[in-house]
Structure 1
Amino acid sequence: MTDTPPIDRLIAIMARLRDPEDGCPWDLEQTFRTILPYTLEEAYEVAEAIEHEDMAALRDELGDLLLQVVFHARMAEEGGHFAFADVVAAICDKLIRRHPHVFGAAELADTAAIRVRWEQIKAAERAGAESGESNGILAGVARALPALVRAEKLQRRAARVGFDWDEVSAVFDKVEEELAECRATLAEHADQTERVHEIGDLLFSCVNLARHMGVDAEQALRAANQRFERRFAQVECGLRDQGLEPSLETREAMERHWTLAKAAERQV
């Protein structure tokens, strides 16, 4: 047994893997860019474990995600930029700064007031950043976010300064308007670029509708994907029982099994 704190042990293991003489060749070849896809993948696997309420998987996936943080920090330290301790110190400072009602003298009445204050502090941080980027209302919304997530964040930023629909009924109207414009691109034989734009506008308006209805668009679509997978698996199972396979010739049978799968879920 070792008395070394687990996080220190992990940092030491990562340093060993990146040792120029005795480390792992694969780990030594990695850069921030080559590791990035793994970082994103691990974050999604954490989300999947949470969605399935699988605590054992969540423990393991959080460990994998933590490894990504340690990996990036190690490469940064090798480049003379910062170390893992600096990452921890920065987030500690940020949490204290953004919670003046807990660590300071500020008194905030409720969650809504806390959220407003949080955004004010973040805006001040953006204004003070020496990044050379715009400090506008929409500045700082990461472009690498999934499109649905980023759309919602952009909309929420704009809504905080009053650029938003007052009633959800108006958002329904907007979705219908965008849908009609999409349909028009087929009737008018529009070029592909215009169709891409109109589909994008429709998706953006759907995210707006989800936001006004209190629904997380990204999670809603992830759940829809899971339902589709589950139902289609039942369709395939039903076809196999009939000695059939999915094909154009069995489309009617697929529709019947799909309807049965949906009906079975409603009864649960």
Structure 2
Amino acid sequence: MDRDASIEDLLGIMARLRDPRDGCPWDLKQTFASILPYTLEEAYEVAEAIEQSDMPALRDELGDLLLQVVFHSRMAEEGGHFDFHQVVRSICDKMIRRHPHVFDDQDLGSPEAVYASWERIKAGEREAKSSAVETGALAGVAQALPALIRAEKLQRRAARVGFDWDSVDGVLDKVAEELDECRETLADDLPFSERVHEVGDLLFSCVNLARHLGVDAEQALRAANHRFESRFAKVESGLAEQGLEPGVEVRDEMERLWERAKKDPQ
């Protein structure tokens, strides 16, 4: 294209790909369910580009994520449910509704007041569209969220109605308690399901600790994964320089290289 592309260009491309007569066989075969894994993958690739401060990659990954929105919208239009423009209208209405301090000249005074207003409006929206089954402070937290993110959202919802620790000290004590209970599951006479239960409680408590420390648990674990990958790559490189490969028989050398890798700047 000689001119700057527009969203209408992308919508046209997707319509062509989904054309029953001349479209792409792969694209025509897809459903909401089959595309979902790609949608999630693209969202995580956006996150990775941001974490790496890679702006060219972020540009490309945002495009891939936008394609997912267009793809789902096209399939919904074909089914007579809604189209892309209605998706845009919906989010525009939502953003205006949730920012009365900007669009209705309400004076909220502080970021904290803005956040409180945002949460009140969201709660009202959830209540308006909830079924009789979906009631209560925890209603509407998506089941498909990654477990760490969902745990934090559930905890924040409970905290808004007063069900929370008064200080981080209580959370630290709870983490220690759950760790002790995990140790107890090592006893031979306990079923494995009890171990799964206690490990889950420990992880949930760790998410609570992260929340009280102002840390995003999902991002913290992603960063820890990156550090582990980087350090282990240095261990493998150090072994290769000695003509060795990772294995139990070189455990001591792996530990030495690991400690050295930990001291290197990340």
Q: What is the TM-score when the length of structure 1 is the normalising length?
A: 0.96
Q: Distance in 2 between matches of 1:159 and 1:241?
A: 53
Map of 2:31 onto structure 1: 31
Rate the CA distance shift 1:216–1:4 in 2: closer, same or farther, 3 A. Answer: closer
How far apart are the structure 1 equivalents of 2:168 and 2:207?
12
Q: Which residue does 2:106 correspond to in 1?
A: 106
2:75 equivalent in structure 1: 75
Q: Give distance in 2, aligned partners of 1:23 and 1:2.
A: 24
What is the alpha-carbon distance in structure 2 between the residues aligned to residue 162 and residue 237 of structure 1?
Answer: 51
| Shift of residue 161, structure 1, vs aligned partner | 0.9
- SS at 1:27's partner residue? helix
Aligned residue in 2 for 1:254 = 254
Post-superposition CA distance 1:183-214 (Å, at most 9, x none): 00002542111111100000000000000001
Deviations 1:195-252 (A, max 9, x none): 1110000000000000000100000000000000000000000000111000110111
Distance 1:2 1:262, change over 3 A: closer
Give the unaligned 5+ runs of structure 1: none
Q: d(CA) in 2 for partners of 1:204 and 1:15?
A: 44
Whole-angstrom distance in 1 between the partners of 2:2 and 2:130: 43
| Mean CA deviation greater in 124-133 or 82-91 | 124-133
Partner of 2:239: 239
Q: Deviations over 1:39-90 (max 9, x none)?
A: 0000000000000000000000000000000000000000000000000000
Give the total of aligned pairs: 266
Distance 2:178 2:128 in 1: 38
Measure the CA separation in 1 of the matches of 2:130 and 2:45.
Answer: 34
Higher mean alpha-carbon deviation, 137-146 vs 22-31, is at 137-146
> What's the counterpart of residue 126 of structure 1?
126
Which 5+ residue runs of structure 2 have no aligned equivalent? Answer: none
Deviations 1:97-140 (A, max 9, x none): 00000001321011111111111101111111154541211111
| Distance (Å, rounded) in 2 between the aligned partners of 1:189 and 1:234 | 41
CA displacement at 1:3 relative to structure 2: 6.1
SS in 2 for 1:26: helix
- Aligned ranges 1:148-187 → 2 under 5 Å: 148-187=148-187
In structure 2, distance between residues paired with 1:119 and 1:167: 22
Match of 2:144 in 1: 144
Q: Identity percentage over the alignment?
A: 70
Show the counterpart of 2:63. Answer: 63
**Once structures 1 and 2 are overlaid, which stretch shifts more, 158-167 or 128-137?**
128-137
